[in-house]
Amino acid sequence: MRRVAFEEKVKFTEKVKRLSKEALTEFVKMVQTMTPKAMRDVGAKKLQIRVDDIDKAMFSKFTEFLDSQSKKDEIKEPPNKVPKLSP
């Protein structure tokens, strides 16, 4: 079984941190259902997702979800306004 590279894990973690509240809730439910061994209850209504406990196949599926969410966020963001220059 091929392991997930450290750099991929770092990118994965950064994408998780950028999720909206709704997307994060959906992501946590996915992990709980598909890879429950990766979930840790650390108390005070906090969960920890242990990336090292996610196998390569599930890691790829979760990455696809994270990428789709980041694309949705890009679409929702209004385009940057260019300031008008006065003559």
- Per-residue pLDDT at 81 exceeds 70: no
Residue 84: predicted pLDDT? 54
Has residue 35 got a pLDDT over 50?
yes
pLDDT given at position 75 = 42
Instruction: Give the number of other Cβ atoms within 10 Å of residue 61's Cβ.
Output: 14
- Across the chain, mean pLDDT equals 84
Local structure of residue 1 (DSSP, 8 states): -
Is-above-0.85 flag for pTM?
no
- The residue with greater pLDDT, 33 or 76, is 33
Please state the domain extents for the chain: 6-74
Note the pLDDT of residue 72: 73
CB 61, CB 74: distance < 8 Å:
no
What percent of the chain has pLDDT above 70? 80
Residue 66 has pLDDT above 60, yes or no: yes
